[in-house]
Every structure is written in C-alpha cells, then in structure tokens.
Structure 1
Amino acid sequence: MEHSEITPAPIVNGLSVDVEDWFQVGAFEDVIARDDWDNLALRVEDNVARILDLFDAAGVKATFFTLGWVAERAAPIMRRIAQSGHEIASHGYDHARVFNFDRKAFGEDILKARKILEDTTGQRVSGYRAPSFSIDQRTPWAYEELAEQGYSYSSSVAPIVHDHYGWRDAPRFAFKPLSTSDLIEIPVTTAILGGKRVAAGGGGFFRVLPYAFSRWAIRQVNTQDQRPAIFYFHPWEVDPDQPRVPGAPVKSRLRHYTNLDKMAPKLTKLVEDFAWGRMDLIAFREAALATELDSRAFLKTVQVEPA
C-alpha cells in the first residue's frame, strides 16, 4: 500500500486590531489635547466595519484590543465585533502609556476599561495590550496588577529598539513574567535579519515596507522558529480620507499617513496567505511553550532596577 505524505497543518498566527481613532495615536499626543477628543469626528466605527467585512470575506477571527473610551462611544460596533465571533480585549481606557502610571493608577485604568468592555459586549475580557507597547523594564509591577485582576495574557511588549517604545532585551516569544502566576506575555513579532532583531509584527512597518518583507518575516517565524507570528494594525490605517493634523511633526506625519490607501489590499493578501486566529487561542497554545521568567529577576540580568 502506498503511503501519501501528510502535510502538517499551518501554524495559526495571532491577528489583532488595536481599536483607537485617528486622533488618539501617540504620534499626535503633543498636538491634539485629550480634552478636545469629544469635539473631533469619530471615524472608528466605519473603519472597524470595513475590517469586519474583510475578515468575514477571508473567514478569519481576530482579537480587537479596544480602548474603553471608544467602547463608551461606539457600542453598536463593539457588539458587532463580539457577535461576529471575535475576541474583545483591553487596550486600557484612553491610550495612556503604562510607564506614565504608578501601579495604583494603572490598576484603576485597566479595571475601568474592562468593566466598560464587558458591560458593552457581554464578553469576558481576559487579554490586555498596553498602549504603544508600553510595558517594559520600568514597569514590572504591571504584570503583578494584571495577574491580580485575573487577566490570562498580555501582548504588550515590543522586543526591539524604537524611539517611542521597546524592550530590547525581552524574549522574542511567549514568556511567563511572574513565578507566582500563569499569566503569559506574548510579544509582538520580530524577525532576525543580519543577526539583528527587526520589527515584523505590523503597524507602520507593514504599511511602509513592501509586502514581501512581511511575508518573508512571518514565514521565518513559522518555519524556522516554529512559533506563531503576532500581527497588529489599527482601524485608522485603512482610512486614507481621515483628517490631516496641522502642526504635527514631519516624522509623525510620515509615519501616520504613508500608504494608507494601500493598507486594505495588503491586509487582504496577508489574511489569505497565512492561517490566523484570536489571541486567546494563541495564548492557550503558547502557555505550554512559554519560558518561565520572573520579571524582577530578568531585570537584574539586564542590569536595570525595577521602578
């Protein structure tokens, strides 16, 4: 009897959307005041609807890391996300970076956001992503607070060097930051190029660089590392008609507006080329592989004292 080769199932990668509107991004925080947000056009509902249509057409499920502030003002689209089988997770209340909080204020922020998200959608929230990937060597207490509040996973670390964020010495793949909890951290994806880590998990890098780079990077992670890639983007990135912000720094404008018109077609190709799933599914599967790592002990190995 002839034996045919069995093709292994493709690795399921983590697909995520950071749900915030065009005026809430870190790049514009010095030119758009928080107090002015309610006076600006809310475009996130229409953009999320486009994303849901794209995901439905591709037959994929994803995680929507959502600001509590957005959920308060866009309840119908939040309910559609949940009813479509996607995961609702927390992105904090109003996009304040974790390293600008103390532990008490951080705890209040994630508690407030979680209550809004759960009350709005009826879905339990078990995942968290820090705005601007702002959990790093300054905030070991953030994991303790997340664990205390019952979160099962975080995806809040970018293990690279970047001018706005990054924890260069953090592990590339899932790790357990606390010896006293099953909480796991799932960093956003990096690839290895020329012996160095490079950002490869989406956002502006995906918009600006040729699609071939992202395809190569995800394949590297799936085939060489045998791990899932973690990809993210924002609703405003599929919105080329969004308002332009006067007075924003040139660098910020370049990062924010470049290739907005190309984002949706690239996303369509991405979701067709790879297998994708919700982050809670990835967390469940990665839990068995996560490196056990006490964050305070880890900080000592990189010679940075906890805040």
Structure 2
Amino acid sequence: MIRNAMTVDVEDYFQVSAFEPYIKRDDWDRLDCRVERNTQRILDLFDQHSVKATFFMLGWVAERYPGLIKRIVESGHELASHGYEHIRVTQQQPDQFRADVMRTKALLEDMGGVPVRGYRAASYSIGAKNLWALEVLQEAGHEYSSSIYPIKHDLYGMPQAPRFPFYPNGDDGLLEVPVTTFTLAKRRFPCGGGGYFRLFPYPIYRWAMRRVNNKDGQPGVFYFHPWEIDPEQPRQTGISAKTRFRHYLNLERMEARLEQLLRDFSWGRMDTVFVDAR
C-alpha cells in the first residue's frame, strides 16, 4: 500500500485568509483561542491510529503554546513552517518574505530542537507570479515546500504546475510537493483535503485518493486545519455567504470523516514520504 502524507496547517479559526476583511490582526490576542485544544485532540487521534504526520506551524501559535511544539516533536511528528502570522506571499515583497520565513524557521528550530525542513505558504499563495519565493525558501535552508495547488481557484492555484513533486530550481534544489489533485476526462480536480474534503461525500474522496495511488502510482498529500474539527467555534457575523459556506460547511462531520480516512489509507510525514524517499 502506498503511504500518503498527512499534514495539519496549525492556525486558529480567526487566522484564516477569508476572515482578513472582518478580523484585525491586532485583535487576535483578545479572541477565544481554540487552536491548542483542537491540535491536542488531533494528536490524540493520530496516536490512536498510529499515524505520524507533518504539522505546518504558525510562529504566532508556537510562541503562545510551546507545549504543542514539545508534544509534536516528542510524538515523532514532523515540525514544519507555515510562516509567522499567516500572511499570504502575494501580499509580501521578497525582503519581507525572506525575513518572515527566516524568523519562523529559527523560532521553530529553537523551540523544537529539530531541523525545520519544510514550508507551506498561507493559503497556497505561491504561484506563477511569485515563483521567486521558492528560491527564497531554498536560500533560507528549507529542503521542500508544499505551497502550490495545481488547480484553478478564485483565491489561489497554478493550474499549469506539475501535479506531482518537482524541482523548480534544478535537481539539487528545493523540492516542491503540490497539493494532490486527480484527473478525470483530462481535467484536474482537487482531492487534497480542506474544504473540498468537507464538501464531497466521503466515498467520492476515497475513490479519488485511491485513483491517485493506484492509477497514477503516486502518494497523495492531505491537509486540514485544527478549526475544522471544532463545530463549536465562535461564529463570525457580517461575513459573505461564500465565506460562511466555505468555512462552516460540515464541520460537525469532519472528525468522523477524518477517522475513516486514517483507517482507509496508510499515512506518514512529508519528509519521509517525499524527501527521504527520493
């Protein structure tokens, strides 16, 4: 059985990009933070199913909840970077981005006592117009990135990108591991997790991931967020109908679906599935 990569983007419900117009960063510390308890619950689930995963951690979260870093590392999971405070790469100049990734990498390595090899951009915000970011990541000492979603989306995506891992800066450079898609009738469809996992009926998602494993012969990448297993999170008012639908859809079903996913496939860390295996 092919081993796929299980990943968690560790951010709280109020830090998602879709809430940027409604929640100020200056207010984050005054809000009900739920990321610690939700991430602990995820770690419990992974322990129950003997799953090792990669946690793409915000530096902002790490500073406030050092116990999470300790447990992630001591449990044998991979600690990776999600940037400091979830600023999309499309909103940063190269010098700002370089400072952000170096700050976060140094912070996580100091707290975790392990090398931080991987990076994932906020909201998959690396694409055709800012591929310079991959060079910055390599210069900062990252070995791989999982920041490109090779689909067309209104908020992100690079549909012309390869579907499977590639070296954008040469064979001895940084490895980019795109989020997983499947093909049907020569079209690409998402099956990497997140809101799509909550939207599609579970049997369809299982079929799609099996298609990637069996037809393409490739491991997949699955991602989700701690807030997605938390249907009791505070509900935001004044948000658009599209944002409300995307964020809150089927939260109450997510944990059960996740447990089924853990049973149906073999899972591992990003570094062991993609980097060390090459």
Q: Same fold (TM over 0.5)?
A: yes
Map residues 79-228 of structure 1 onto 2, 5 A cutoff: 79-179=70-170, 181-228=172-219
Unpaired runs of at least 5, structure 2: none
Cα distance change on mapping 1:285 and 1:191 into 2, 3 Å: farther
The alpha-carbon distance between structure 1 residues 209 and 202, as it changes in their structure 2 partners (threshold 3 A), is same
2:273 alignment partner in structure 1: 282
C-alpha distance 285-11 of structure 1, shift in aligned 2 (>3 A): farther
Gaps of 5+ in 1: 1-9, 288-307
Identity %: 53
Question: Alignment partner of 2:73: what SS?
Answer: helix
Tell me, yes or no, if the aligned pair for 2:149 and 2:158 is still in contact at 8 Å: yes
Q: Distance between the aligned counterparts of 1:49 and 1:96, measured in 2?
A: 24
Aligned counterpart for 1:26 among listed residues 17, 32, 35: 17
Match of 1:68 in 2: 59
Distance in structure 2 (CA, Å) of the matches to 1:114 and 1:285: 20
Look at both structures and tell me which one has the larger radius of gyration over its CA atoms: 1
Moved over 3 A (4+): none
Task: Report the residue type matching 1:191 in the other structure.
Answer: F
- Return the alpha-carbon distance in structure 1 between the equivalents of residues 223 and 184 of structure 2: 20
TM-superposed deviation, 1:174: 0.3
| Aligned with 2:6 (options 8, 15, 21) | 15
**Residues 121-174 of structure 1, C-alpha deviations (whole Å, 9 max, x = no match):** 212101000010011011121111111111110000000000110001000000
Distance 2:257 2:276 in 1: 27
The aligned amino acid for 1:106 is F
For 1:230 and 1:204, the matched residues in 2 are separated by: 14
Contact persistence 1:147–1:181 (CA under 8 A): no
When normalised by structure 2's length, the TM-score is 0.98
* 2:156 partner letter: Y
RMSD: 1.0
Cα deviation, residue 250, structure 1: 1.1
Distance (Å, rounded) in 2 between the aligned partners of 1:75 and 1:201: 28
- In the alignment, is residue 229 of structure 1 matched against residue 220 of structure 2? yes
Shift in CA distance, 141/119, structure 1 to aligned 2, threshold 3 Å:
same
Aligned residues of 2:9 and 2:225 also touching (Cα < 8 A): yes
What amino acid is the match of 1:67?
A: L
User: What is the deviation of 1:194?
Assistant: 2.8
**1:210-266 deviations in whole A, cap 9, x for unaligned?**
001110111011001100011000000000000001111111011111111100110
- Calculate the TM-score normalised by the size of structure 1: 0.89
Check if 1:56 corresponds to 2:47: yes
**Cα distance, 1:195 vs. partner?**
2.1
Residue in structure 2 matching 1:77, options 42, 46, 68: 68
Conservation of the 8 A alpha-carbon contact between 2:2 and 2:266: yes
SS at match of 2:14: coil
